[in-house]
Structure 1
Amino acid sequence: MTHTGLNSCHNKGNQKITQNIVTPTMCILFLYYLPHGSYYRLIVANNRDEVFERPTEPATFWKDHSDVLAGRDLKVNNGGTWFGITVGGRFSTVTNFVTPPSGLISKPKSKGHLVIIASKSYRDGHHLNGFSLLTADLSAENKDTSLAYTCNYDTDGARVLDPGVYGLGNSLLDNPWHKVKQGMEKFSNIVKSPDSTLTDQLFNLLSDCTKWPDPNIPNIGCNEEYNNNVSAIFMKPSRDQKGRLCGTRSQTVLLVSGDGDVTYTERSLQPSTAQWTTVSHTVTLKI
């Protein structure tokens, strides 16, 4: 899950348009990437906003890719994911880029495979609706160009990022919505003075329901409640234009120490009971 070949992922605009709304599901993440020699190398907090009925497997090591630790989207053939790390130190995560109706394609491929195949030269970005992809290579031999970003609607192409704090939602990395800006400020305060409550503080941040009205968030064609909920870091469950229950269905906190020790904590919301189920994995990277 590295960034090799990501320059070639741009949308060609050559697919037939059949939908009349922008992508309705959202996600948000906050990331702190540090150079070699730091106490932490990587800290990530992620909300997956999705249809609750979409079949998903909680985070675990995959049987068919034993080096991959990730949740799994079971609706996709052979399974894809939105967030994962390998024991070799490669991290990737993908979010939707809200695509205007003129940019939607009729039979897009799944974005869930991007995280798994980001280590390869991927040349089918034009078969996907809008996405943003962040990848990091924490292996010992890769000390300089370890963090990269690409979006198939960003004309600048893939680029290497400097160490620092980043926030990514459903717009371009350099043009964040208000909720991302507000979350980045809180995230930065948390991760730059970490203590034993770091994971709990990050889950509290991911559960912030404060709405940040933003003219840059397009009307996504749903009811007013749904559209309003989109403006918060934590998206409360609400019905989309098809009557499906959507919202923040899982949250993940990933901590990678300078020694390669990983703590991966994921919790998933059961909307019928409003209860969370939590899985946690610890592993030392082979780097």
Structure 2
Amino acid sequence: MCIVLVTTAHPKYALVAIDNRDEYILRPTSRPHWWTAKPESSHGTNGSANGANGANGHAETKPPSDVEVLSSRDLQRAERGTWLGITKGGNFAVLTNYRETDTNDAAHPVHGMRSRGGMVTAWLRADPAESTEHFVHRMLDDGGVKGVGGFSLICGKLRRVPGEKNIEPLAIISNRCDHAGQVPWICGQRGSIYGLSNATYLEGRDESKDPLWPKIRSGTDMLSSAVATASDEAELVASLFKILDTDNFPSDHTIDLEEGIPLLKHSIFVPAFGGKEHQQEMCEAQQRGEVKQTGHDSPGAEALMVVARPDEQLNGFQTGLYGTQRQTVILVDWDGNVTYTERALWDCHGNPIPRGEGDETFKFKIEGWEQEAELRN
């Protein structure tokens, strides 16, 4: 039961985003790295955004340049999707699952034919000229989310609005939305804090309707305090990881997943837990240590060591213990400089990694940070 918290309330940073990826600890996952993607078609994007007018007065389009993406990648499914990522051009996306309560609902499968992580990469590898608004319509109006398990996706272009102390708003797409008019938009104003977990965004906020997500309330409260009190970047990052480590889960970590799922709405951090069968699978993975070499998609990248497990389980990967597998902190300052830190809590064998020893940090400047979006729909 993942959680993402974002804020525009810090005076130095245009955006602060933090995320816990809760997953089966043994699910094969790469470390964060830069990889290159061929932009996907935006189906109906105005060609004039990509080329100059020819002699006949019509736009002569040219293929967009390759997109450079920073993310970890899910190595379990063929799509090689992700839960969170950002491009050098500022396309940003982070996804949480929707907690299905009816496992027999054919219209909303727990484990879809298509990967949820592919929804994130659909935006990360989109034509850089495509606007967030166009992408929202493309995904919802043209059936781009059909066949995917329940999810919510925060996505948008990290851009400073010219002449303002604001960034362009981010959309929250869900396949519980019937059309683009139901999509919430966030982060377009200063001083705001938002939280998203495993309900839709509006459900998770309306406790009178569905009081399921106390960790959203506590997380946003703690984030508000952190951005108000941290004196420098190092202190801020430390306080943000402290929020992500907030553990209100029961001390008994041997309960079955079915018993533990209702408790996850209370705890930002989820310690690895599972019943006897999953405990045994975890021990076997640690003792066996069967790994294979798998390279990154980008040339010259360092090879990965990943557990080799085919994705043949009816409801997705469900091997070993479940808990918080990765943690991410992203800071974007008013000059468009990004600090992206991902913390791995487990190695590929299911052994715990001491806090900080699994950290990887990337720093870069968003290209076109203060350019007005090329496409408006």
Length-normalised TM-score, structure 2: 0.61
Q: Are 1:136 and 2:156 an aligned pair?
A: yes
% same residue? 29
Q: For the residues of structure 2 that align with 1:154 and 1:99, how far apart are their CA atoms?
A: 15
* One-letter amino acid of the structure 2 residue matched with residue 74 of structure 1: L
Q: CA deviation at 1:136?
A: 2.5
Distance 2:331 2:167 in 1: 20
Contact 2:331 2:340 in 1 (8 A): yes
Given the two structures, how large is their TM-score scaled by the length of structure 1?
A: 0.79
Unaligned 5+ runs, structure 1: 1-25, 213-220
Counterpart of 1:22 in structure 2 is none
- C-alpha root-mean-square deviation of aligned residues, in Å? 2.7
Equivalent residue, structure 2, for 1:12: none
1:27 equivalent to 2:7? Answer: no
Deviations 1:53-101 (Å, cap 9, x if unpaired)?
A: 1111111111446511111111121411100111111111010011122
Amino acid at match of 2:362: H
CA 1:74–1:39: 2 relative to 1, 3 Å? same
Higher fraction of helix: 2
Distance 2:76 2:236 in 1: 33
Distance 1:159 1:174 in 2: 8
**Structure-2 separation of matches of 1:165 and 1:41:** 12
Residue 82 of structure 1 pairs with residue 83 of structure 2: yes
1:265 to 337, 341, 344: 341
In the alignment, structure 1 residue 283 sits paired with structure 2 residue 357:
no
- In structure 2, the partner of 1:239 is 274
The answer to which of 175-184 and 270-279 deviates more is: 270-279
**1:109-188 correspondence runs (5 A):** 109-118=114-123, 119=126, 120=135, 121-122=138-139, 123-140=143-160, 145-155=168-178, 157-161=182-186, 162-163=188-189, 164-176=192-204, 177-188=213-224
Give the equivalent residue in structure 2 for 1:198: 236
Q: Which runs of 5+ in 2 are unaligned?
A: 38-65, 127-134, 205-212, 251-255, 279-319, 369-377
TM-fit CA distance, 1:188: 1.3
Q: 1:107 to 1:211 in 2, by over 3 A?
A: closer
1:124 is displaced (CA, Å) by 2.7
1:61 to 24, 28, 34: 34
Partner of 1:98: 99
Q: How many residues align?
A: 253
Q: Deviations over 1:229-281 (max 9, x none)?
A: 55310001012697321100100000000101110000111242352411110
Structure with the greater alpha carbon radius of gyration: 2
Paired with 1:262 and 1:255, the residues of 2 have a C-alpha distance of 6
Aligned equivalent of 1:210: 248
Partner amino acid, structure 1, of 2:363: T
Say if 1:226 and 1:239, in contact at 8 Å, map to a contact too: no
Distance 1:169 1:110, change over 3 A: same
Could you give the per-residue CA deviations for residues 130-152 of structure 1, whole angstroms, max 9, x where no partner exists? 10010131235787753111211
Structure 2 counterparts to residues 43-62 of structure 1, below 5 A? 43-62=16-35
